[in-house]
Amino acid sequence: MITELPTLDKRNVTTFTDDQLCKWTRVVCRIICIGLALFETWPQRHFLNEDGVSYLDMSDALQRHNWHLLINPIWSPLYPLLIGTVTWLTHPSARWEIPLVHLVNFVIFLAALASFEFLLRRAIGVLRQESRRDDKKSAVALPIWVWQLLGYSLFVWSTFGMIWAPRVVTPDLCVAAFLYLDGGLLLSLGAGSPKLRTSLLLGLTLGFGYLAKAILFPMAFLFMAIAFFAIGAWRRAVLPLAVTFLVFCAVAAPLVIAMSERVGKPSYSEAGNLNYAWHVNYVRQDKPPVWPFFRAETGPPAYLKHPVTLLHSHPEVYAFKEPLALTYPPRSDMAYWGAGTKVVFNLRNQLLTTIGGLVLFFRDPHILPLSVLIVAGFIVVFLGPLSPRGLKSIPRSWPLLIPGIVGPCLYLLIAVEPRYVAPFFVMVLVGLFPGILRRNSLNNGRRVTVWLLTVAASLMFFSASLVAYHLAGFPRAEDGSVFLQVGSALNRAGVRPGEEVAIMGESSDGCRWARLARVRIVAQILREDVGDFWRITDPHEKAEVYDAFVRAGATAVIAEDTPPSRAIGEWQQLGDTHYYVHLLSPTGTN
């Protein structure tokens, strides 16, 4: 039922209905969301994070006609497939590849926004149903547009404050889009929407969600179980659930089969196993021994099937090649270099990891706002003065609460990052809406409205401030311009695309300019050993190090720090950056 807001006086003043206010709220919030996305994307259009290099390597599958690049036990294929399709159609130069990727991210952002609006509409539908059930003569309801504004503010903070999208090159926006669709479809099933059509769509979103990120594979079975109970009577639920399951299998099975063949055992992903070993088994060590690099004194761990090769000691020169030519092999194919790692359950380490993740929920400034809101929401629903009404409303939104809680719990077992848990937290908060929406006295209703508007305005303000910080606070290296300059200067110095190089320093920066230069890193002196190289004064000893690089296949070695004055004559500066290159001859000398 549409009701008109009272006018200020009896003169002929235009009034707005609740539906009109909802419409204008939606339009304004869309403008804010899209505007923030544009401000976040354009100034950082050359930004490339370390994970993004691995996804870009996989995206080359179409141009290199090598579909095996998309079968990676760590990195999921949907996001690089989207990027690869666009780059295959447009054939961008190295300079325009990253801006094109950010354009793809912006389109994915629009899809995530549309998915969230679908979820929000379904949740508001539940709110309206709860509103009609209450005694309208004894109480007043909070305006729907207030909850709408709060919902968009949650989306804004989770997207820009936690996922850091669309600036960061990761599939997390894809994950959020599919989770919001899954949640909306579950609410649709509970509200009596056409079962077969909704179940078919749910199977598709669950399947493509797994292709976006591996954690959504086990979560898919949880969503299907929730769908079964959301429908109600089991006789009416069997056929729709069978449709969901079959469609999910049709989408997910090809990747599961290919992944199992790749790792030599039944597997949907190795990301969970390896991350458990890195983050839980070795939680108290600064550098877990599963990483392929090792010290010369100890040698490679016996369990590694493919350890890197130590070509020279003092300084230690590591060489690494693999069946697939990638920008930085130890990063892009961690499953290959970590093969043989055993996962061992350790109760003490597991408790330390879980407690550390829980502490992070309330310590990390990006997660903290939503964590506080979730705790406050549950307190209001379960312990508030009108908790009986709130508890009666929860059964209508439990399809959002269960996966929203289980998802972060899975990450608590291994590792927590804001971008991992962001969409799950949003689902929990949207699921709490019906429990918090209660008919109150007029004064209490106004007080709750003021509080919700304050929360929404605060989230919007801090999200905008964070975008402004990204625009003004990031150093030049972070926006990608330095890496673009290094890549271009390296090509001009004679290192052609497709050639192999060595680096001295961190791989996190090295893989970025290497991707832009279209070269591959095949050898490395770790940052902690670079000082040993600069201290070499004997020309023959230095030639041995250069010869080790040559034996690895490198045609040049790039240093990320300015060489000392006595050695700078051997090196060529790359543009006006602090990177320098030394071209290698076949004998390893100048």
Top-confidence residue, 331 or 386: 331
Torsion of CA 116, 121, 123, 125, to 10 degrees: -170
Chain-centroid distance, C-alpha 132: 39
Chain-centroid distance, C-alpha 458: 24
Question: First vs last Cα of the chain: how many Å apart?
Answer: 83
Sequence-distant (6+) residues with CB within 8 A of 250 are 203, 207
**pLDDT, average across residues 505-525:** 93
Q: What is the CA radius of gyration of the chain?
A: 27
Instruction: Look at residues 539, 543, 509, 537 and name the one whose alpha carbon lies nearest to residue 558.
Output: 509
Pairing mode of beta strands 309-312, 500-504: unpaired
pLDDT on residue 67: 87
The most confident of the ranges 237-241, 300-304, 565-569 is 237-241
The most confident of the ranges 309-318, 375-384, 393-402, 473-482 is 309-318
pLDDT on residue 383: 73
pLDDT bin (cut points 50, 70, 90) of residue 17 is: low
How far apart are alpha carbons 50 and 331 in whole angstroms?
9
pLDDT on residue 384: 61
pLDDT on residue 95: 87
List beta partners, residue 543: none
Mean of the per-residue pLDDT values of the chain: 85
pLDDT on residue 11: 44
Reported as a single tens digit per residue, the pLDDT across 93-143 is 988 999 999 999 999 999 999 999 999 999 888 777 655 555 444 344 667
Task: Return the residue matching tokens 């290094």.
Answer: 486
Q: Does the pLDDT at position 518 exceed 60?
A: yes
pLDDT on residue 478: 56
Query: Domain spans of the chain?
Result: 18-261+349-473, 291-340+475-590
How far apart are alpha carbons 75 and 212 in whole angstroms?
9
How far apart are alpha carbons 312 and 60 in whole angstroms?
33
CA distances to 305, 503, 520, 564 from 524, in Å: 20, 5, 12, 19
pLDDT on residue 417: 95
Sequence-distant (6+) residues with CB within 8 A of 469 are none
How far apart are alpha carbons 140 and 119 in whole angstroms?
25
Convert 118-142 to b/e letters by CB count within 10 Å (16 or more is b): bbbebbbebbeebbeebeeeebebb
Q: Which amino acid is at 548?
A: A
Quick one: how many helices (H) and strands (E) in the chain?
22, 7
**pLDDT, average across residues 418-432:** 95
Q: Is 58 helix (H, G, I), strand (E, B) or coil?
A: helix
Q: Does the pLDDT at position 22 exceed 90?
A: no
**pLDDT, average across residues 337-363:** 91
Torsion of CA 327, 331, 337, 343, to 10 degrees: -160
pLDDT on residue 15: 45
How far apart are alpha carbons 399 and 401 in whole angstroms?
6
**pLDDT, average across residues 519-538:** 93
Convert 378-408 to b/e letters by CB count within 10 Å (16 or more is b): bebbeebebeebbeebbebbbbbbbbbeebb
Q: Does the pLDDT at position 515 exceed 60?
A: yes
How far apart are alpha carbons 24 and 154 in whole angstroms?
18
Element (H, E) at 559: strand 556-559
**pLDDT, average across residues 273-290:** 73
The most confident of the ranges 30-44, 106-120, 523-537 is 106-120
Reported as a single tens digit per residue, the pLDDT across 303-349 is 888 888 999 998 999 999 777 788 999 988 888 888 888 888 889 99
How far apart are alpha carbons 3 and 140 in whole angstroms?
12
Q: Is 521 helix (H, G, I), strand (E, B) or coil?
A: strand
How far apart are alpha carbons 209 and 252 in whole angstroms?
9
Q: Does the pLDDT at position 265 exceed 80?
A: yes
Q: Does the pLDDT at position 477 exceed 90?
A: no
Q: Does the pLDDT at position 299 exceed 90?
A: no
Instruction: Look at residues 2, 300, 347 and name the one whose alpha carbon lies nearest to residue 145.
Output: 2
**pLDDT, average across residues 445-468:** 77
Give residue 248's region: left, alpha or beta (phi > 0; psi -120 to 50). alpha
Mean pLDDT lowest for which of 211-225, 279-293, 302-316? Answer: 279-293
How far apart are alpha carbons 309 and 302 in whole angstroms?
14
Chain-centroid distance, C-alpha 200: 26
pTM (2 d.p.):
0.90
The most confident of the ranges 84-93, 130-139, 567-576, 578-587 is 84-93
Element (H, E) at 302: none
Q: Yes or no: say if 533 and 479 are a contact pair by the CB < 8 Å rule.
A: no
